[in-house]
Structure 1
């Protein structure tokens, strides 16, 4: 059985490592923040301690066979229910997957601390922090490149067609996702909405500039 000092150190370290990752989630105002990550990490650490050392009084009985990993294994599957509570559907966008994954990872850190694998727990904490905080700017930059951007045009009737847009886009014509033409009844002009995918803001502005040079085009506006 562990000494009381070692037992306290493991639980305290689990709380500390969980708080480091939880703080990163807390600053983004997610439901599973500082306290949730600390509780998960400490709880899983205690479960690992119980799994490994909680049956030491009967383990030497020749008629008893125990698997120390059996209880800890339930944490890996059981934490999924808690993680599912952090996943939200907002409109057509799923939010909270990263927080759910961080909870699952924190549970693993707690198990490692409970098992005395301090180096593994500390290393994993650092790696997770790099993933959550360090890679986020790169992820946002990539998403910005993949976003749908729309150009709205006002032009004389039949002056802007899909072929005209393709010609203005050039090699980027394959990035046209949607072409919508609406005729204005009051003056007979056309309103055109052209949506592009996987184009940088600079590329969309370049296409908008080419569309402005077309005879009959009155206004060109990038709205997304």
Structure 2
């Protein structure tokens, strides 16, 4: 049986570790933030200790078999309902998956602390914080490069062909995903939409400037993918 000091130490350590991860989510203003992560971690820790040490008075009784792993398994599966509450569908984009995963990881950290696996719990906390805070800039950079970017052009009728566009894009011509020409409001004007993939904003801006230098191009607008 655990002593009172050890019991309180484990609960406090679980609160600190859950709070460290929750603070990162709170910083980004997610619904499941500091308090939610702390509560999940402390609750998981307590459940693990109850499972492992809370039935000492019935040990040795006939037909009594204790399996702490069964309670731990229920925590891992039961945390799913809380994680599901953080997942939102905004238009066609799913948001909150990372926060749901962090809640799941925090529950595991709480179980580890409750089981006395301090090194594993501390190492996992550091790794989770590194993933949430450190990998995010790399992920955003990669997503930014993979985003579809568009240019909207107004040109003189018949002046914009795929060859003209490839000349303006130069070595980036292989990144052209779509080239659409539509009649404009003026019979002598056409509206052109060009989509690019895996191009940075700077590259698209450079292409737009070269197109503006073409006398047949009346206007060029860059479409922000975040607002389209």
The TM-score bracket by the shorter chain reads over 0.9
Aligned to 2:51: 51
How big is the shift at 1:74?
0.8
For 2:34 and 2:120, locate their aligned partners in 1 and report how far apart those are by CA, in whole Å. 21
For 1:66 and 1:163, locate their aligned partners in 2 and report how far apart those are by CA, in whole Å. 75
Comparing 89-98 and 185-194, the one that deviates more:
185-194
Aligned to 1:189: 189
Q: TM-score of the superposition, structure 1-length normalised?
A: 0.93
CA-based RMSD of the aligned residues comes to 1.7
For 1:51 and 1:179, locate their aligned partners in 2 and report how far apart those are by CA, in whole Å. 63
Count of residue pairs the alignment pairs up: 224
For 1:107 and 1:217, locate their aligned partners in 2 and report how far apart those are by CA, in whole Å. 58
How big is the shift at 1:39?
0.7
- Report 1:60-139 matches (<5 A): 60-139=60-139
For 2:128 and 2:105, locate their aligned partners in 1 and report how far apart those are by CA, in whole Å. 8
- Report 1:23-42 matches (<5 A): 23-42=23-42
Matched, 1:204 2:172: no
How big is the shift at 1:198?
0.8
Aligned to 1:14: 14
How big is the shift at 1:167?
4.0
Q: Deviations over 1:69-117 (max 9, x none)?
A: 1111111111111101100011111110110010000000000010011
Unaligned stretches of 5+ in structure 1?
A: none
For 1:109 and 1:46, locate their aligned partners in 2 and report how far apart those are by CA, in whole Å. 12
Q: TM-score of the superposition, structure 2-length normalised?
A: 0.91
Regions of 4+ moved over 4 Å? none
Unaligned stretches of 5+ in structure 2?
A: none
Aligned to 1:169: 169
For 1:95 and 1:29, locate their aligned partners in 2 and report how far apart those are by CA, in whole Å. 13
